[in-house]
Amino acid sequence: MTVATERREALGASGRAERQRGSGTGFGGQQPKAVQKALAMLEAVAYLGAGVTAKQIAAHTDVPPATAYRMLNYLVADGFLARTPDLSGFALGRRTSELAYAATGTGPVRSVAQVVDAMRRETRHGLYVTSFRGGTLRTVDTDPDHEVVSAATISRNLHAHAAGKLMLAYRPRCLDGLELRSVTARTVVDGLSLHADIAQILAAELSFENEESRIGRAALAVPVRDTGSEVVGGLCLQGIAGRVSPDNDALVRFLRAGAAELRGLL
């Protein structure tokens, strides 16, 4: 066997070994591009917010859906992403939070679930968190002990829910084509009245719904901001009508304090 032949065989064996090592990642042979795509997906989840779907991530990153699904599964398996409780979307995972903590050198990074779970131990009312990123209302953290309105139901009737009105106030484009349907006898279906409600929400940074989506139930919602002060979602509290109102200073302070803790976590 010639020296040249031995060299070619050695290079071939090396290449096969490298491909075998690379195949363990599930990303194929072009590792640098795969890493770039994976990082882009992490950025997409951070930008679009918890609950974003695989389809939305694929579109945002311009990655073929099949490739996106495969990469997302690996990122979840490695702890960089996590599935939302209803398995319909994704959120940043534990290892991503650890990286953020290491980079900032500040105290431990709390998750949305940790903040809201602590709040639930202090109230008998239902609590949930919504995201407005991408112009779509999504439930990021729902209350396991109370029946709360689904994101799909709120989205169909934004004008009838405290969280929906909050989104209309800070995402006014969502008003385009909005059908003001009557959900209950108390639902605001007059355009001028709705705009007056929205103006009040922006002035007070507080949204209120009183039996507009269900008789006997009322709700309050306050904006949740990112680190740059943009409103990216809402913290909503719901309970029995008459007990939940904007005149209940203790409840309003409780919600505002919670929203401050959630800042930068959505």
Yes or no: say if 208 and 218 are a contact pair by the CB < 8 Å rule.
yes
pLDDT, mean of residues 140-153? 83
Q: 112-262 — its CATH code?
A: 3.30.450.40
Q: Which of 138-147, 179-188, 245-254 has the lowest mean pLDDT?
A: 138-147
Yes or no: say if 22 and 31 are a contact pair by the CB < 8 Å rule.
yes
Look at the pTM and tell me if it is higher than 0.85.
Answer: no
Q: What is the pLDDT of residues 109-124, one digit of tens each?
A: 578 889 999 999 999 9
Three-class SS state of 120? helix
Q: What is the pLDDT of residues 197-241, one digit of tens each?
A: 999 999 999 999 999 999 999 999 999 999 888 999 999 999 999
**CATH 1.10.20.10 describes domain 3-104:** no
Q: What is the pLDDT of residues 68-122, one digit of tens each?
A: 899 998 898 888 898 887 777 888 887 876 676 565 555 555 788 899 999 999 9
Element spanning 31, H or E: helix 31-48
Domain layout of the chain by residue ranges: 3-104, 112-262
